[in-house]
Amino acid sequence: MHIDTERYRIRPGEAVRLAERATDDTQGYTEAEHEEAAAALLEALTEESDVLQERLYAESKRSLLVVFQAMDAGGKDSTIRKVFSGLNPQGVRVWNFKAPTPTELAHDFLWRVHRRVPGDGYIGVFNRSHYEDVLVVRVHGLASEETIERRYDHINAFERLLHDEGTRIVKVLLHVSKDFQLERFRNRLAKPAKHWKFNPADLKERDRWDDYRRAFEIALERTSTEHAPWYVIPAEERWFRDVVVATILRDTLRDMDPQYPEPTFDPASYPPESLR
Ligand code: AMP
Ligand code: MG
């Protein structure tokens, strides 16, 4: 299997029409014929990313931030679980952004985000992010139009700052259809062990589907940059979704090419028999 990820990247300034982007693309592969190959590929990708993550940690000069956004039931939790399970948990920092607390609301919208970005050597994973402040906030009018307008620029400046200071950024929208979400909600309601995942309030958000889609389009158009690109990943075929995201992770780490530091001592001056 060879996965092309470039087709999912949003070019800076590109107009985004989510309705025109497939939610179930598999690049011609089928689950019946390629499920095993995909599982093997996922394992190989994860193993390579694990080695690269260790080098990133050893180098300790840069970090990687992977941002996940999606509609409710879009698969953020399960993607993060599948793609990052094979990595050393010590090197990965996952953070889940919930509705802001009063203290968080009393600060600028990036305050709570900045303190969760990964430090040198780490991979940070955001399950939701500062993008909520131009998504749910836009859909529900939780801030004024002018405030939201300015936030795209603040986001770009913030991500530019992170980039300049050594944090590589990739952003992933797990793209699913309204029908798919309905199926997921029904599935959650049908299984007692999934009830905790269902929130009746999600149905209210579902009613605003088109507003969310437009909010996503604006956000992608205004914040997909060379240094912090957005990828719109078809996320309905989960076996395929996972290998696409794992490929982006592996390719990004490969491109970063972290290096083990030069030892600060001469290993040759410590022959095995000299240690006791
Ligand atoms: P969940 O991810 O299912 O636990 O839900 C978290 C909820 O918090 C979602 O409904 C988000 O839209 C909401 N949320 C996250 N960040 C913000 C924010 N900055 N402003 C308002 N709501 C938010
Ligand atoms: Mg939810």
For 265, counting Cβ atoms within 10 Å of its Cβ (0-12 exposed, 13-18 middle, 19+ buried), the class is exposed
Give the pLDDT of residue 217: 98
Mean predicted confidence (pLDDT) in 205-224: 98
How many Å lie between the centroid of ligand 1 and the Cα of residue 132?
7
Nearest residue to 154 via CA among 172, 174, 173, 137: 137
Helix then strand then coil, in percent of the chain rounded to 5, is 55, 10, 35
Nearest protein Cα to ligand 1, atom 1: 98
DSSP 20-40: GS-SS--TT--HHHHHHHHHH
For 34-51, how does the pLDDT look when each residue is reduced to its tens digit (9 = 90+)? 999 999 999 999 999 999
Task: Calculate the alpha carbon distances from 224 to 41, 130, 146, 248 in Å.
Answer: 28, 14, 21, 15
Q: How confident is the model at residue 165 (pLDDT cuts 50, 70, 90)?
A: very high
Mean predicted confidence (pLDDT) in 221-242: 98
How many Å lie between the centroid of ligand 1 and the Cα of residue 212?
13
Task: Calculate the alpha carbon distances from 146 to 33, 138, 149, 245 in Å.
Answer: 51, 11, 5, 34
Nearest residue to 119 via CA among 56, 49, 55, 50: 56
For 109-143, how does the pLDDT look when each residue is reduced to its tens digit (9 = 90+)? 999 999 999 999 999 999 999 999 999 999 999 99
Task: Calculate the alpha carbon distances from 212 to 69, 145, 178 in Å.
Answer: 12, 15, 11
For 139-161, how does the pLDDT look when each residue is reduced to its tens digit (9 = 90+)? 999 999 999 999 999 999 999 99
Nearest residue to 220 via CA among 233, 206, 235: 233
For 71-85, how does the pLDDT look when each residue is reduced to its tens digit (9 = 90+)? 999 999 999 999 999
Q: Residues 125, 130, 135, 140: is their CA dihedral positive or negative?
A: positive
Mean predicted confidence (pLDDT) in 243-257: 98
Give the pLDDT of residue 206: 98
- Report yes or no: 168 and 225 within 8 Å, Cβ to Cβ: no
Q: 98-132 burial, b if ≥16 CB within 10 A, otherwise e?
A: eebeeeeeeeebbebbeebbbeebbbbbbbbbbbb
99 lines ligand 1 (CB under 6 A): yes
Ligand 1 atom with the smallest distance to the CA of 135 is 12
Structure tokens at 142: 């939780």
Q: How high does pLDDT run on average in the chain? A: 98
- Tokens 């990595």 belong to 87
Which residue among 114, 128, 204 is best mutated to probe the pocket of ligand 1, counting the most ligand atoms within 8 A of its Cβ?
128
Give the pLDDT of residue 238: 97
Cα gap 195→207, rounded to integer Å? 20
Q: How confident is the model at residue 102 (pLDDT cuts 50, 70, 90)?
A: very high
Give the pLDDT of residue 100: 98
Cα gap 48→91, rounded to integer Å? 14
134 lines ligand 1 (CB under 6 A): no
Q: How confident is the model at residue 89 (pLDDT cuts 50, 70, 90)?
A: very high
97 lines ligand 1 (CB under 6 A): yes
Q: How confident is the model at residue 249 (pLDDT cuts 50, 70, 90)?
A: very high
- Report yes or no: 159 and 227 within 8 Å, Cβ to Cβ: yes
236 lines ligand 1 (CB under 6 A): no
Give the pLDDT of residue 267: 95
202 lines ligand 1 (CB under 6 A): no
Structure tokens at 172: 């992933």
Task: Enumerate the β-bridge partners of residue 64.
Answer: 123, 168
Pairing of strands 92-96, 123-127: parallel
Cα gap 147→153, rounded to integer Å? 10
